Structure 1
Amino acid sequence: MSFINQRLQNLRQAMHRLGANAFYCTLSDAHLSEYIQEADKFLTFLSGFTGSNAQLIVTDHQALLWTDSRYWEQAALELNDSGIVLMREGKEDVPAPDKWLASQLDHTQMTLAVALESVSSTTFKKLKESVSAVVDFQPSEIDHLWTDRPHRTIKGLYIHHASSVSAHDKLKRLQSYLQSQNGFADSDSLLLTRLDDIAWLTNLRGSDIEFNPIFLSWALVSKREACLFVHTQALTEEITLHLQRAGWRVLPYETFEDELSKMNASIWAREEDLNAKVFTLIHDRFKPCKHPVALWKSVKTPEEIAGLKEVMKADGQALEDFIEEIKDRLARGERLTENDAVDILHQKRSAIPGFIGESFGTIAAVNANAALPHYEPISGLGAPIEPPCLLLVDSGAHYDKGTTDTTRVWFLGDSQDYPSADLQALKRDYTAVYKAMKALSEATFKPGTTGFELDKIARAPIHAIGADFGHGTGHGIGLTLNVHETPPSISPREREGTMTPFEPGMIVSDEPGIYRPGQWGIRIENMLVCVQKAENLLGFETLTQCKIDTTLLLQ
């Protein structure tokens, strides 16, 4: 870990050049994306932590990394001997980063260097209130420290034909909404920063970020005009014509901040969608709003759901074919690893017409590795699959008609060869998770019910055996878009996605779990679509069409 120590020392020297004695960054990009390009993983470069959610604070004498419970075990391993203290976010005795910084003011003045371009405006406000002063840690400073920083990836665009609503009609719907808003002047503009919002609105897809069919862009929409800022090298004649017909004017991505600076009228936006740099740029013209694009995107049309059902059938068959091949090859005496499982499943899915690519890195985890919710086998270093054992596979793919996300756990080998006491405990956990998944999928509820309320239904069978899980029960899923979409969201945490009422057409995952560190992890996940039920109630229809292993169910 000497190279991590050296990087932190170099960072401290850069802090001092800026007149700062503390530094803060998070894993994000200018669009506040969940998944980001390698070029934006400065936190990973500094710390060695490879998870997708973290915050890092470095002072003259300390370094601390916050991450949620999905990554506690992984972070403990990756930060070992680095000198970086793991802060287990969510534990009662662990203060949030802004609270920790505020506590340091008791004995020292704190000037904080922050990479404003990749920090949300809401986080920036909290940080600013917690320290004496804030300075911008600009991209040039990052380049100076990260000399082999990866180049930014810009790839081509394509038209998503599976949407049943044209890009022209989506834009007109948004402009009609703006015309209905009191105080929204003819010269005002709505700023869209979220990449999946823009992809949905334009009916375009890309691959600028791994596993996410989106493209780097900004959008400004007024009552009568719409400007899309996009990398011009990604445009073809077909894409340009598509945008023109839909009502978009195209400008180079790199001109966005200059164009924004020139505008004199008000800029409307969701404050939580703005990075601190953009927020500072438009601060005197900014008007907060809750535009409905994310909500519109979450409600799929009947035609879109019909297309997704075709995809789910083929995807489910691929999973079943996958596990049969695994079992057959093991029975023949072949030696397989977690890496082989990833490769075999990719081969099955890539043969399906309309396959685009995986929707996230495939999790193929044997026994104790499955206790790490976001475990991915390192290339060439995956654990052997040696029956009797447990194999958890959490995987999904993008197709031309939709996105999938499924988790299954299979018991491989003869259960009589498994220690009897462990087998009973394993069956108890597996049965509780199965009951939890089934309880949510079969729930009926009144219109206006939120994911915060539904979360209790899924956790009840798991709480009944004295267990729980740290992650949410379900997340929204895009239509050939991000596999994590909000709204909706099912979780015990009160956030916008969990407090948004369910509507027919919303698609959500259903994935409760139990994790026993050093032993096993159980998670069973189906995709559900919210539907109208009898007596003016709502409920779910299961979209996933892959059999569930019943070997471990208690009779």
Structure 2
Amino acid sequence: MNQERNRISCKKCFICKLQSAFGCYAIISAIPASCTLVLCYSELEREKQRGELRKACSKFGHAVQPIRRVNTTMRLQQLREKMTSEVILGAPAIQAYLVTSSDEHQSTDVDDYEKRREYISGFSGSYGNAIITLDKAALWTDGRYHLQADEQIDCNWLLFREGHKNIPTISDWLRKHMPKDGRIGLNPKLVSEYMWNKLRSELKGSSLELVALNVSLVDLIWPPEERGVKRSKDAFILGIDKAGKNYTIKMNETRRELQKHGADAMVITALDEIAWLLNIRGRDVPNSPFLRSYVILDMHNIFLYVNISQLQDNNVRENLHSDSRIVRSDSVLLKDYDDIWRDLRIKSQLYKHILVPSHCVYSEGASHAIYEHIFADRRLPRQSPIIYLKAVKNYVEIKGMQNANIRDSAAVCDCFAYLEKLMNANEKLMELDIVELLNEYRFEQNGSLGNSFRTVAGYSSNAAHPNYEPTVNTNVQIFKNSTLVLESGGQYFDGTTDVTRTLHFGEPTDEMKEAYTRVLIGMIQLSTLTFPSNMKMAVADALARASLWEVGLDYLHETGNGIGAFLGVQESPIIVHFSSETSFQQVFKPGYFLTNEPGFYREGEFGIRLANVMEVIEKPWLKHGGHTFLGFKVVTFVPFEPKLIKLSLLSHQQRKWLNNYNEQVRQLVGAELKRQNRMDGFYWMMEKTKFIPENGGRELNRIQNFLLTGIFILFFV
């Protein structure tokens, strides 16, 4: 009898764990009588560590496949044929092939032409690395995409969820599954030197070999009719009224930084750095105003390697002094894009030390191919000084970011008002309808150049995917019984925006209210933080998560990242995450802009996320121990959803902050909405920003809160 009770208890435990943590991905057909609760959970963990914990991929029966799943059987077969062809490789066969997410410039967001990893795996997220061997295929991705990847990649693939315990690295997995003397093929232009060295270091002591291939195997099997067209639109100059500094000043600042490093030249490969340095913008990358190009900068010359046909606008050449008869130190000398590979060989003989960008947070640094084209004794691997120069916004950029976010907030308010009107009229709305509407409202704003990333509109269980993007196959109708997470951002000539709000068109459950309120508390706690200038970024993350940690909850993505000024929506060197090694090395500086985006995700049910953009400001009236003190200034002004706020959880200080924030929304966005005669948005905004009572609720002990903050600072700094 006891044995039977243990068996039933174990089976229930196993199914419960699957449902709560992974959405019941398997059908349990038989459980041994000797199974215990610990053994059940251990088996689940072992499957996760082996990459075998997959949705609808049970070895027993034939489960219905998710509608987002892509069949990659033929693609993998064709790729493996190329891997074993010495004629195609021009070298001995390889036993594994690595496919990254990036282009030649290690961009995080690439156009359809460059999405090799997505084609071979079916996974469309912005981050992930795929390894294909002769009999296995495996994908590694982080917590933003665990659920999405599991639904998109088919059962040919193993899924390794980075961020969970005991998940093997790519190197660990290769050591275990590769044959002796196995060869691992990589495209050196699509792999950063940082990643190459990391793999080589981790494989040291094994017989495995990294092989740089002259061909891209995915390109060989990718039918042209299924592949996007490489973007090649005309470039344009960002005027000094928006950039705040002439490119000549930026160039001289960079040269001074190079001299500090002992370098007499630098190769610049990151597109956002080139855009900032030359005040030039393009449309070669989705959602970011970048021009596909390389730059070599020395103490007397600057060479721009680009598709010259994209510089037909005489204003571009004139601003860059490219057509000047007299070559000056700020004359940008134009070269064909592919000439970079020849010139690196030649020019590396002219310089003693060439700074070659290394890894920094979201910036992968230069590719392995760039490093290999420079003589080893001339290389100076360093983090690009441009990363830190452009992260600190000048006065014009700061004002531009503030103004862009006000106009963007007005567009979002007006759109939300229209959505609520449609829902109250019981109109049928799908996720893709909302994406289209939100994009249209943003495009109508002055100075808009489109989105800063693909709009996220996730309803109900889809909202539990942190970076969910609706497709034709996953598009669901919006009802009034769950949450709708909307994350979007815009590119404006004077700034870049990123805002997330969670809506509910009916009556939310108490669980939804508590989750929303705890996420809001985290956002408020981080927004109101005052801290010494030497505090590490990782410390700030604790305040954003504390309210969720209090009840045993958390989220797997970072709380914040840097954001550019009419540049990338994800910018180094800023990352706010308590477990990030880099976050423990970086500090905030006045003029930095970053996101504040805590969240909560109940898989299979609903999701909550909120995001604002904040500016790092100095508080000069506070001085202690030789340190200046800093704080944050919120520049996003979109109301929160009152019906989702559980006021009893908010302290007096948090209620006061919310009232002050709502007052700013009414003043700044209200004025903008009236100026644009968007009165529906104005009245909606006024309704959502009503004053709330500041007394009552959970009063936090200010002394305890201060001491808690002090402990974090003393422990982490």
User: What range describes the TM-score normalised by the shorter chain of this pair?
Assistant: over 0.9
Name 2:372's counterpart in structure 1.
280
Which consecutive unaligned segments of at least 5 residues does structure 2 have? 1-68, 323-329, 360-364, 623-627, 648-717
* 2:180/2:208 contact within 8 Å kept: no
Name 1:179's counterpart in structure 2.
259
Q: TM-score, normalised by structure 2?
A: 0.73
Match 2:331 to one of 242, 247, 257: 247
Amino acid in the other structure paired with 2:163: G
Deviations 1:288-346 (A, max 9, x none): 22342111111111222112222211111111111111111122221111111112212
After TM superposition, which residue ranges in structure 1, 4 or more long, deviate above 6 angstroms? none
Name 2:117's counterpart in structure 1.
43
Match 1:547 to one of 628, 631, 639: 639
* 1:392/1:410 contact within 8 Å kept: yes
Name 1:126's counterpart in structure 2.
198
Going from structure 1 to structure 2, the CA distance change for 1:498 and 1:551 (only over 3 Å counts) comes to farther
Name 1:93's counterpart in structure 2.
166
1:450 CA displacement: 2.4
* 1:300/1:506 contact within 8 Å kept: yes
Name 2:232's counterpart in structure 1.
154
> What is the rounded CA distance, in whole Å, between the counterparts of 1:380 and 1:144 in structure 2?
28
> Which stretch has the larger CA shift, 33-42 or 237-246?
237-246
* 1:397/1:404 contact within 8 Å kept: yes
> What is the rounded CA distance, in whole Å, between the counterparts of 2:494 and 2:454 in structure 1?
20
* 2:71/2:154 contact within 8 Å kept: no
Match 1:5 to one of 73, 84, 90: 73
Amino acid in the other structure paired with 2:563: I
* 1:339/1:381 contact within 8 Å kept: no
1:58 CA displacement: 1.1
Match 1:325 to one of 401, 418, 429: 418
Match 1:189 to one of 265, 270, 275: 265
1:3 CA displacement: 5.2
1:80 CA displacement: 3.0
Name 2:557's counterpart in structure 1.
471
1:524 CA displacement: 0.7
Match 1:390 to one of 472, 475, 483: 483
Is 1:238 equivalent to 2:315 in the alignment?
A: yes
> What is the rounded CA distance, in whole Å, between the counterparts of 1:381 and 1:53 in structure 2?
20
Name 2:180's counterpart in structure 1.
108
Name 2:340's counterpart in structure 1.
256
> What is the rounded CA distance, in whole Å, between the counterparts of 1:471 and 1:2 in structure 2?
25
Q: Secondary structure at the match of 1:197?
A: helix
Amino acid in the other structure paired with 1:240: R
> Which stretch has the larger CA shift, 208-217 or 39-48?
39-48
* 2:615/2:632 contact within 8 Å kept: yes
Written as runs of structure 1 = structure 2, the 5 A alignment for 1:310-389 is 310-379=403-472, 382-389=475-482
> What is the rounded CA distance, in whole Å, between the counterparts of 1:292 and 1:61 in structure 2?
44
> What is the rounded CA distance, in whole Å, between the counterparts of 1:200 and 1:495 in structure 2?
27
Q: Secondary structure at the match of 1:116?
A: coil
Amino acid in the other structure paired with 1:207: R
Going from structure 1 to structure 2, the CA distance change for 1:140 and 1:522 (only over 3 Å counts) comes to closer
Deviations 1:490-522 (A, max 9, x none): 112334466221111100000011111011111
Deviations 1:116-157 (A, max 9, x none): 211111211233342522223334543322132433211111
* 2:163/2:556 contact within 8 Å kept: no
* 1:359/1:398 contact within 8 Å kept: yes
Q: Secondary structure at the match of 1:92?
A: coil
Q: Secondary structure at the match of 2:486?
A: strand
> RMSD across aligned C-alpha pairs, in angstroms?
1.8
Deviations 1:468-497 (A, max 9, x none): 010000011110111000122211233446
Q: Secondary structure at the match of 1:293?
A: helix
Answer with 1 or 2: which has the greater Rg.
Answer: 2
1:108 CA displacement: 2.7
Q: Secondary structure at the match of 1:489?
A: strand
> What is the rounded CA distance, in whole Å, between the counterparts of 2:451 and 2:268 in structure 1?
26
* 1:176/1:223 contact within 8 Å kept: no
Amino acid in the other structure paired with 2:307: H
Amino acid in the other structure paired with 2:357: R
Q: Secondary structure at the match of 1:209?
A: coil
1:381 CA displacement: 5.1
* 1:26/1:54 contact within 8 Å kept: yes
Task: Specify which structure has the bigger relative contact order, considering alpha-carbon pairs within 8 angstroms and separated by 6 or more residues.
Answer: 1
Is 1:228 equivalent to 2:321 in the alignment?
A: no
Size of the alignment, in residue pairs?
542
> What is the rounded CA distance, in whole Å, between the counterparts of 1:85 and 1:380 in structure 2?
23
Is 1:67 equivalent to 2:130 in the alignment?
A: no
* 1:527/1:542 contact within 8 Å kept: yes
Name 2:99's counterpart in structure 1.
25
Name 2:657's counterpart in structure 1.
none
Name 2:9's counterpart in structure 1.
none
Is 1:425 equivalent to 2:511 in the alignment?
A: yes
Q: Secondary structure at the match of 1:518?
A: coil
Deviations 1:330-381 (A, max 9, x none): 2222111111111221221111111110101111111111110111111485
Amino acid in the other structure paired with 1:244: H
Going from structure 1 to structure 2, the CA distance change for 1:374 and 1:543 (only over 3 Å counts) comes to same
1:283 CA displacement: 4.7
Deviations 1:202-260 (A, max 9, x none): 01111101101111111111111111111111102211111127432111111111111
Q: Secondary structure at the match of 1:428?
A: helix
> What is the rounded CA distance, in whole Å, between the counterparts of 1:159 and 1:367 in structure 2?
43
* 2:271/2:292 contact within 8 Å kept: yes
> What is the rounded CA distance, in whole Å, between the counterparts of 2:511 and 2:143 in structure 1?
23
Going from structure 1 to structure 2, the CA distance change for 1:200 and 1:2 (only over 3 Å counts) comes to closer
Amino acid in the other structure paired with 1:527: V
Q: TM-score, normalised by structure 1?
A: 0.94
Amino acid in the other structure paired with 2:538: F
Name 1:143's counterpart in structure 2.
219
Amino acid in the other structure paired with 1:12: R
* 1:488/1:498 contact within 8 Å kept: no
* 1:7/1:46 contact within 8 Å kept: yes
> What is the rounded CA distance, in whole Å, between the counterparts of 2:551 and 2:367 in structure 1?
43
> Which stretch has the larger CA shift, 9-18 or 145-154?
145-154
